[in-house]
């Protein structure tokens, strides 16, 4: 009996791998980056979702380490290899790295640059994806086939938006709206 595709949502600091033909890994990204890796010969793939490029202070421990790209990439690759993938056959698609807020700097660009650099140093081919821009995106990845789909998220979720505080115009001032 087939109940259709099984979706697994990958949140910040997580990763998932699978050989299941019916599995779909999903995530929503803003400035975070997700690497979707696939070994076409082994029919195995996986996705990670990281928040920051590297832990330069060396203070992250345990589950907190998965927030960082270096750790998230290594964990994903290692778990893919446990399911039969070979490093030299891995292909990657990178998504995310948007600049959602001018006030927070461009952490998205730093995440994207880190992911590209990491994969280049590891000799893993980047075969697709979408990095940068100004909008959040929803990603679906079929790990057994390596297929990926991106959909734009028109408006960032409220939890990602800084609060807007209205200000009263001063007497004789100019009101901008």
pTM of whole model > 0.85?
A: no
Domain contains 167: no
Domain contains 98: yes
Q: E strand or H helix at 15, and its extent?
A: strand 15-18
Domain contains 173: no
pLDDT in tens, 71-91: 999 999 999 999 999 999 999
End-to-end CA distance of the chain: 58
pLDDT in tens, 117-175: 999 999 999 999 999 999 999 999 999 999 999 999 876 445 444 444 444 444 554 44
Beta strands in 113-169 (DSSP E): 125-131, 136-142, 147-153
Domain contains 126: yes
Domain contains 164: no
Q: Is 32 tagged catalytic?
A: yes
Could you tell me if 39 and 86 are in contact, meaning their C-beta atoms sit under 8 angstroms apart? yes
Could you tell me if 37 and 45 are in contact, meaning their C-beta atoms sit under 8 angstroms apart? yes
Residue identified by tokens 């980047």 is: 126
Domain contains 47: yes
Containing structural domain, residue 61: 6-153
**Strands across the sheet with 15-18, in order?**
15-18, 44-48, 33-39, 91-96, 125-131
Q: Count of domains in the chain?
A: 1
Domain contains 175: no
Given 32, 33, 72, 144, which residue is catalytic?
A: 32
- Looking at residue 94, which CATH number applies to its domain? 3.30.1330.200
pLDDT in tens, 91-112: 999 999 999 877 667 899 999 9
Count of other CB atoms within 10 angstroms of residue 82: 10
Domain contains 161: no
């Amino acid at each position: 009996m087939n109940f259709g595709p099984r979706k697994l949502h990958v949140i910040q600091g997580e990763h998932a791998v699978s050989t299941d033909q019916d599995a779909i890994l999903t995530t929503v990204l803003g400035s975070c980056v997700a690497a979707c890796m696939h070994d076409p010969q082994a029919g195995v793939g996986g996705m990670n979702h990281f928040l920051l490029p590297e832990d330069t202070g060396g203070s992250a421990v345990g589950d907190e380490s998965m927030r960082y790209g270096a750790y998230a990439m290594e964990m994903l690759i290692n778990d893919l290899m446990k399911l039969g993938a070979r490093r030299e056959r891995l292909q990657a698609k990178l998504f995310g790295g948007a600049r959602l807020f001018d006030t927070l700097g461009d952490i998205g660009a730093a995440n994207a640059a880190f992911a590209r650099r990491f994969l280049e140093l590891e000799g893993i081919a980047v075969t697709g994806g979408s990095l940068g821009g100004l909008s959040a995106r929803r990603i679906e990845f079929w790990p057994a086939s390596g297929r990926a789909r991106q959909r734009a998220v028109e408006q960032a979720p409220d939890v990602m938006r800084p609060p807007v505080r209205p200000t009263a115009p001063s007497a004789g001032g100019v009101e901008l709206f």
